[in-house]
A and B are shown apart, each in its own frame.
Chain A
Amino acid sequence: MNIAVCVKQTPDTETRVKLTDDQKAVNESDINFILNPYDEFAVEEALKLRETNGGEVTIISLGPDRVKSAIRSALAMGADKAIHLVADKNPSDPNAVAGALAEELKTGNYDLILLGKQAIDDDHAQLPSLLGEKLGLPAVTVVVKLDINGDQVTAEREIDGAHEIVTCNLPAVIGAQRGLNEPRYASLKGIMKAKKIPIEEKPAALAADQLEIESFNYPPEKSAGKIVGDSADAVPELLRLLHEEAKVI
Chain B
Amino acid sequence: MAKENLPSFSKGMFSGVILDELVFPYPKMKEEEAEDLKMMQDSFRKFAEDHIDGQKIDEEEKYPDGLIDQLKELGFMGLSVPEEYDGFGLSATAYTKMFELFGGINPSVAITLGAHQSIGYKGLVLYGNEEQKKKYLPKLASGEMLAAYCLTEPGAGSDAAGIKTKAVRDEENGVYILNGSKIWITNGGVADFFTVFAKEEMPDKDGKMTEKISAFLVTRDMGGITSGKEEHKLGLKGSSTTEVFFEDVKVPFENLLGERGKGFKIAMNVLNNGRLGLAGGSIGALKVVMKEAIAHIRQRKQFRKTLSEFEMIKEKVAQMTVDLFATESMIYLTSGLVDRGDVDYSLESAMCKIRATEVTWHGVNECLQMVGGLGFMKEYPYQRYLRDGRVNMIFEGTNEILRMFTALAGMHERGQYLRKIGTALKGPIKGFGVLTDYATQWLKGRVSTERIRDVHPELAAAKVQFETWAKNMHFSAERALIHVGKNIIYREMIQERLANAAIDLYAMIATISRVDTMITEKGAENCSVEIKLCNTFADQAWRRVRRNLLMVDSNNDREMREIADFIVDQEKYPFETI
The interface residues of chain A lying within 8 Å CB-to-CB of B38 are 69
The interface residues of chain A lying within 8 Å CB-to-CB of B79 are 188
Interface-side segment among A16-24, A155-163, A189-197 = A189-197
Interface pair B47/A191, CB less than 8 Å apart: no
The interface residues of chain A lying within 8 Å CB-to-CB of B32 are 195
Tell me whether A216 is interfacial, beta carbon within 8 Å: no
The interface residues of chain B lying within 8 Å CB-to-CB of A205 are none
Q: Mark A167-211, 1 if CB is under 8 A from B, else 0.
A: 000000000000000000111110110110000000000000000
The interface residues of chain A lying within 8 Å CB-to-CB of B46 are 185
Tell me whether A140 is interfacial, beta carbon within 8 Å: no
Instruction: Choose one: B39, B74, B75; the contact of A72 (CB below 8 Å).
Output: B39
Tell me whether A73 is interfacial, beta carbon within 8 Å: yes
Tell me whether B253 is interfacial, beta carbon within 8 Å: no
Given contacts A185-B46, A185-B47, contact A191 B73 (CB under 8 A): no
In chain A, positions 47-98 with a C-beta closer than 8 Å to chain B are 69, 72-73, 76
In chain B, positions 150-195 with a C-beta closer than 8 Å to chain A are none
Given contacts A72-B39, A73-B42, contact A187 B88 (CB under 8 A): no
Interface pair A195/B36, CB less than 8 Å apart: yes
A32 to chain B, nearest CB (A): 9
B10 to chain A, nearest CB (A): 34
Who on chain A is nearest to B51 by CB? A185
Q: Could you say which of A34, A69, A187, A195 has the most chain B C-beta atoms within 10 Å of its C-beta?
A: A187
Q: Roughly how many angstroms separate A189 CA and B79 CA in the complex, as a whole number?
A: 11
The interface residues of chain B lying within 8 Å CB-to-CB of A195 are 32, 36
B33 to chain A, nearest CB (A): 10
The interface residues of chain A lying within 8 Å CB-to-CB of B73 are 187
Q: Roughly how many angstroms separate A178 CA and B38 CA in the complex, as a whole number?
A: 24
Tell me whether B553 is interfacial, beta carbon within 8 Å: no
The interface residues of chain B lying within 8 Å CB-to-CB of A187 are 43, 73-75
Q: Is the interface of B mostly helix, strand, loop or mixed?
A: helix
Q: Roughly how many angstroms separate A195 CA and B83 CA in the complex, as a whole number?
A: 14
Interface pair A185/B35, CB less than 8 Å apart: no
B74 to chain A, nearest CB (A): 5
In chain B, positions 1-48 with a C-beta closer than 8 Å to chain A are 32, 35-36, 38-40, 42-43, 46-47
Tell me whether B103 is interfacial, beta carbon within 8 Å: no
Q: Roughly how many angstroms separate A192 CA and B79 CA in the complex, as a whole number?
A: 12
Q: Is the interface of A mostly helix, strand, loop or mixed?
A: helix
Given contacts A34-B42, A73-B42, contact A188 B78 (CB under 8 A): yes
Interface pair B47/A69, CB less than 8 Å apart: no
B522 to chain A, nearest CB (A): 11
Given contacts A69-B35, A73-B39, A76-B39, contact A192 B88 (CB under 8 A): yes
Interface pair B36/A185, CB less than 8 Å apart: no
Tell me whether B76 is interfacial, beta carbon within 8 Å: yes
Interface pair B39/A185, CB less than 8 Å apart: no
Q: Roughly how many angstroms separate A191 CA and B36 CA in the complex, as a whole number?
A: 7
* Interface range for A: 10 to 19
The interface residues of chain A lying within 8 Å CB-to-CB of B43 are 76, 185-188, 191
Q: Roughly how many angstroms separate A185 CA and B46 CA in the complex, as a whole number?
A: 7
Q: Roughly how many angstroms separate A188 CA and B36 CA in the complex, as a whole number?
A: 9
Interface pair B75/A189, CB less than 8 Å apart: yes
Q: Roughly how many angstroms separate A34 CA and B46 CA in the complex, as a whole number?
A: 12
Q: Roughly how many angstroms separate A69 CA and B37 CA in the complex, as a whole number?
A: 12
Q: Roughly how many angstroms separate A76 CA and B75 CA in the complex, as a whole number?
A: 13
Interface pair A192/B36, CB less than 8 Å apart: yes
In chain B, positions 62-76 with a C-beta closer than 8 Å to chain A are 73-76
The interface residues of chain B lying within 8 Å CB-to-CB of A194 are 39
Who on chain B is nearest to A32 by CB? B38
Q: Roughly how many angstroms separate A187 CA and B88 CA in the complex, as a whole number?
A: 11
The interface residues of chain B lying within 8 Å CB-to-CB of A186 are 39, 42-43
A7 to chain B, nearest CB (A): 15
The interface residues of chain B lying within 8 Å CB-to-CB of A188 are 40, 43, 74-76, 78-79, 88
Q: Roughly how many angstroms separate A185 CA and B47 CA in the complex, as a whole number?
A: 7
In chain B, positions 59-117 with a C-beta closer than 8 Å to chain A are 73-76, 78-79, 88
The interface residues of chain B lying within 8 Å CB-to-CB of A69 are 35, 38-39
Q: Roughly how many angstroms separate A48 CA and B180 CA in the complex, as a whole number?
A: 51
Who on chain B is nearest to A76 by CB? B39
B147 to chain A, nearest CB (A): 18
Who on chain B is nearest to A191 by CB? B39
Q: Roughly how many angstroms separate A189 CA and B39 CA in the complex, as a whole number?
A: 11
The interface residues of chain A lying within 8 Å CB-to-CB of B75 are 187-189
Q: Could you say which of B35, B39, B73 has the most chain A C-beta atoms within 10 Å of its C-beta?
A: B39
Q: Could you say which of B42, B78, B88 has the most chain A C-beta atoms within 10 Å of its C-beta?
A: B42
Q: Mark B333-351, 1 if CB is under 8 A from A, else 0.
A: 0000000000000000000
Who on chain A is nearest to B301 by CB? A224
Who on chain A is nearest to B45 by CB? A185
B287 to chain A, nearest CB (A): 14
Who on chain B is nearest to A182 by CB? B50
B100 to chain A, nearest CB (A): 16
Q: Roughly how many angstroms separate A186 CA and B47 CA in the complex, as a whole number?
A: 9
Who on chain B is nearest to A194 by CB? B39
Q: Roughly how many angstroms separate A149 CA and B87 CA in the complex, as a whole number?
A: 40
The interface residues of chain A lying within 8 Å CB-to-CB of B39 are 69, 72-73, 76, 186, 191, 194
Interface pair B42/A72, CB less than 8 Å apart: no
The interface residues of chain B lying within 8 Å CB-to-CB of A34 are 42
The interface residues of chain A lying within 8 Å CB-to-CB of B40 are 188, 191
Who on chain B is nearest to A29 by CB? B526
The interface residues of chain A lying within 8 Å CB-to-CB of B76 are 188
Who on chain B is nearest to A72 by CB? B39
Interface pair B88/A72, CB less than 8 Å apart: no
Closest 3 CB pairs of A and B: A188-B75, A186-B43, A185-B47
Can you name 5 A-B residue pairings with CB atoms under 8 Å?
A: A76-B43, A186-B39, A187-B74, A188-B76, A188-B79
Q: Can you name 17 extra interface pairs (CB under 8 A) apart from A185-B47, A186-B39, A186-B42?
A: A69-B38, A69-B39, A73-B39, A73-B42, A185-B43, A186-B43, A187-B73, A187-B74, A188-B43, A188-B74, A188-B75, A188-B88, A191-B39, A191-B43, A192-B36, A192-B88, A195-B36
